[in-house]
Amino acid sequence: MRMSAVRVFKRVSVGGLILAATAVVGAGVASAHVTIQEDSVVAGEFAVVTIAVPHGCDGSSTTEVRIQIPETIPAVTPTINAGWDVEKVMEALAEPIQGEGGEITERVSEVVYTAKTPLPDGYRDAFALSLRVPDDASGLMFFPTVQLCEVGESDWIELPADGQDPFELEKPSPFVNVVASTDSADAATDGDTGTDGESADEATTDIVVDEVSGESTSDDDASNGLAIAALVVGLLGLGTGAVAIVRTRKS
């Protein structure tokens, strides 16, 4: 049985949503749901998302797990699971897109795991998918999942409204939170410059103030002064030692 078409990528205003969802997970309520194990993935980077199935359908053993892939993700690499056969369901793209290996005309719309032996209720399994997160993705990314069993099925495909806690839904779609890449923040920091195009760090020079004269000197001048002072102290020490030796010989 194929699941009905569902729009699988949705941007949500999540100001307080993540905190609410996290609180519910902490309370253990989410353990009854089919969920994604990873808390977050990074926009523009490769990631693995793992859909965990913790139970059957009202006591019936699980025979198939169908995972819909967000429309913004063209390619997915499913992990082989020893107890399951796996299939990638392809669909044609409305418009070809350019990929690293050339033009892409179709995408993975679903990944289907079929049990070699039904997974009994009360036992869990997990299904890992490798994929590249879209550069412009943010907020919650959903992977609607249908769990077929020997008797009945569970459709984990419900999407929350803006600001709604996903776990308020009876059967929420598994989701992962997409966060911004740290590279973007680093690039913004690296772009800050000081005078004459120098970076902020390069434009800053530490100044040492001479406590006697009150005049400012550079680090090099201060270092030279310390070296000279050390040399004078050393010479004085040598002179004192020589005098002591002479006195000893006279006595």
Based on the fold, state whether residues 40 and 150 are members of the same structural domain: yes
- List the structure tokens of 114: 């079929």
Same domain? For 236 and 145 the reply is no
CA neighbours closer than 13 Å in the CB half-sphere of residue 98: 0
pLDDT digits (tens, 9 = 90+) for 16-71: 344 334 433 443 445 589 999 999 999 999 999 999 999 999 999 999 999 999 99
At residue 118, the 3 state secondary structure works out as strand
**Residue that finishes a domain, picked among 181, 196, 231:** 181
Give the tens place of pLDDT for each residue, 89-115. Answer: 999 998 898 877 788 999 999 999 999
The residue among 67, 138, 148 whose CA lies nearest residue 108 is 67
CATH number at residue 22: 2.60.40.2230
Residues 144, 77 share a domain: yes
> Which among 36, 12, 52, 238 is positioned nearest to 143, based on CA atoms?
36
Burial class, 160, CB count within 10 angstroms (exposed 0-12 / middle 13-18 / buried 19+): buried
Q: What is the pLDDT of residues 167-178, one digit of tens each?
A: 899 999 999 999
pTM across the whole model: 0.64
Beta pairing partners, 207: 218
Residues contacting residue 225 through CB under 8 Å, at least 6 positions apart: 217
* pLDDT tens column, 197-218: 444 444 444 434 444 444 444 4
Residue with the two structure tokens 């709604």: 164
Which residues constitute the domain of residue 214?
A: 207-250
Domain assignment present for 4:
no
Secondary structure of residue 149 in the 3-state scheme: strand
Same domain, 37 and 95: yes
The alpha carbon of 120 is separated from its chain's Cα centroid by a whole number of angstroms, namely 33
Q: Same domain for 175 and 213?
A: no
Task: Answer for the pair 203, 193: CB distance below 8 angstroms, yes or no.
Answer: yes
Strands (E), 69-138: 76-78, 84-99, 102-119, 125-132
Element (H, E) at 53: strand 46-53
**In total, how many domains does the chain have?**
2
